[in-house]
């Protein structure tokens, strides 16, 4: 799980931190050390101002007006769609659907894709999935008589690829897996997944909620059929995300929701739908937030994504080295080349108590089941504490986290 512990010179972390107003805060008289990035990241001034600028200077509904403000806002909204396309290296902006986040994007695919399936058809997910990549499939399976199958996770927190290969058969209709685990940090081997899926020509959905932030992502290289991600983890606004669908999937799938904007014509007897992607964007969209997502992507693109990944992993390695000195502490998820997420428990201390004590020292971590209860059960815990790193975190903050955790142990045990 170790990596070369260095911060590449390509990133000026102090300058980056200066772009995030919230990082100037103190919590309980201590400098804020924000390590809850896997749940939601903070926002740079560039993104904050991009959203505020929409409302200040050029807001109107999109696609429907002929006046200047409507045209300006529509142009900015569709430019953000192009930002997403470029960020993912998708072939066409018409393959990008704006959603409220990864959750809605997965629900969209589950609802639309499973309408065409027959009772007994099978969907495959894994034990490491976020609830957002579990519950939609459970609902679809219950409604349509489908079978939900689960890929096992190993003791180190890796996908059991041999088990996945055993599960895929002539009844398999879709494989939906996380690209990077929000609990374990495990980065799944997408090439191996794709090879297994191709034996039965099974489409693959990847949940990129974490990977889009922490890894270089190229949907053409990933060779996936669907890819979802969310804005609020990518230094962008909440309530906005995107779905990429390969080829003509968006043309083949039925709409997810009905309403204005997603229609071509509405008659008393029937409805015809707009072309993709608008067929899947019913109602007034999150206009300013979509524009803010485009701004977040452009902000991230200022920095080398490989350098970001290596910086975050170096922070994780620094923290892991310190945590190894704490008696009774166990890191859950030790896969090779994992992302910068550390989930852990400590003998004699509840994760919620750990998080509350760390907060007294200004350190923000997450505690709970992290919307991954099947994974908690697999790992034999009810909850963990989780520290997760971002581009603006520093080595000093990694040390502050470890020091606060040592003090917490003295207090709790």
Beta strands in 32-143 (DSSP E): 33-34, 96-99, 122-126
- Residue 364: closest CA among 132, 20, 66, 34: 34
Per-residue b/e over 28-56, b at no fewer than 16 CB within 10 Å?
eeeebbbbbbbbbbbbbebbbebbebbee
How far CA 87 is from CA of 20, 306, 313, in Å, comes to 22, 14, 21
Active site residue 141: no
How far CA 171 is from CA of 19, 67, 373, in Å, comes to 51, 52, 27
What is the 3-state composition of the chain as percent helix, strand, coil, each rounded to the nearest 5?
40, 20, 40
* Candidate list 114, 141, 224, 371, residue with the active-site label: 371
Evaluate whether 68 touches 396 at the Cβ level (below 8 Å).
no
How far apart are alpha carbons 358 and 364 in whole angstroms?
7
Total residue length of the chain: 413
Residue 317 structure tokens: 């390695």
Evaluate whether 404 touches 319 at the Cβ level (below 8 Å).
no
- Residue 339: closest CA among 130, 234, 187, 191: 187
Half-sphere exposure of 19 toward its Cβ, with a 13 Å CA cutoff? 21
Q: Is the peptide bond before 277 cis (omega within 30 degrees of 0)?
A: yes
Q: What is the three-class DSSP state of 363?
A: strand
Angle (CA) 321-325-327 rounded to 5° is 140
How far apart are alpha carbons 273 and 321 in whole angstroms?
56
Say how far residue 152 (Cα) sits from the centre of its chain: 21
- Residue 82: closest CA among 271, 322, 273, 294: 294
| CB proximity list for 306: less than 8 A, separation 6 or greater | 216
Residue 404 structure tokens: 């606060």
At 121, give phi and psi (nearest 5°): -65, 155
Catalytic residue ranges:
371
């Amino acid at each position: 799980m170790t990596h070369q512990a260095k911060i590449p010179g390509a990133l000026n972390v102090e300058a980056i931190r200066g772009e995030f107003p919230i990082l100037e805060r103190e919590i309980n008289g201590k400098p804020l050390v924000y390590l809850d990035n896997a749940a939601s990241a903070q926002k740079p001034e560039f993104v904050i101002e991009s959203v505020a600028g929409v409302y200040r200077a050029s807001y109107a509904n999109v696609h429907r007006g002929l006046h200047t403000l409507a045209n300006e806002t529509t142009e900015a909204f569709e430019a953000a769609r192009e930002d997403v396309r470029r960020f993912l290296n998708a072939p066409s902006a018409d393959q990008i659907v704006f959603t409220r986040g990864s959750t809605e994007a997965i629900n969209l695919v589950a609802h639309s894709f499973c309408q065409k399936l027959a009772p007994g058809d099978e969907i495959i997910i894994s034990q490491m999935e976020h609830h957002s990549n579990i519950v939609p499939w459970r609902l679809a399976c219950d409604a349509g008589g489908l079978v939900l199958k689960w890929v096992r996770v190993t003791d180190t927190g890796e996908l059991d690829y041999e088990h996945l290969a055993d599960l895929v058969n002539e009844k398999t209709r879709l494989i939906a897996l996380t690209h990077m685990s929000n609990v374990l940090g495990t980065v799944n081997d997408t090439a191996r997944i794709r090879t297994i899926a191709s034996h039965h020509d099974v489409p693959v959905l990847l949940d990129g909620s974490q990977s889009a932030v922490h890894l270089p992502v190229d949907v053409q290289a990933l060779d996936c059929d669907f890819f979802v991600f969310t804005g609020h983890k990518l230094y962008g606004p909440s309530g906005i995300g995107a779905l990429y669908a390969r080829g003509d999937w968006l043309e083949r799938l039925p709409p997810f929701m009905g309403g204005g904007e997603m229609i071509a014509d509405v008659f008393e007897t029937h409805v015809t739908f707009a072309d993709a992607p608008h067929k899947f964007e019913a109602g007034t969209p999150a206009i300013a937030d979509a524009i803010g997502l485009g701004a977040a992507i452009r902000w991230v693109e200022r920095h080398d994504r490989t350098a970001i990944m290596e910086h975050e992993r170096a922070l994780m390695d620094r923290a892991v080295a310190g945590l190894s000195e704490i008696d009774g502490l166990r890191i859950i998820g030790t896969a090779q080349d994992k992302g910068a997420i550390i989930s852990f428990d400590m003998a004699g201390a509840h994760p919620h108590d750990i998080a509350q004590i760390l907060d007294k020292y200004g350190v923000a971590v997450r505690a709970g089941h992290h919307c991954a209860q099947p994974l908690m059960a697999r790992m034999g815990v009810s909850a963990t504490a989780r520290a997760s790193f971002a581009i603006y975190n520093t080595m000093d903050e990694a040390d502050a986290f470890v020091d606060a955790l040592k003090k917490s142990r003295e207090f709790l045990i």
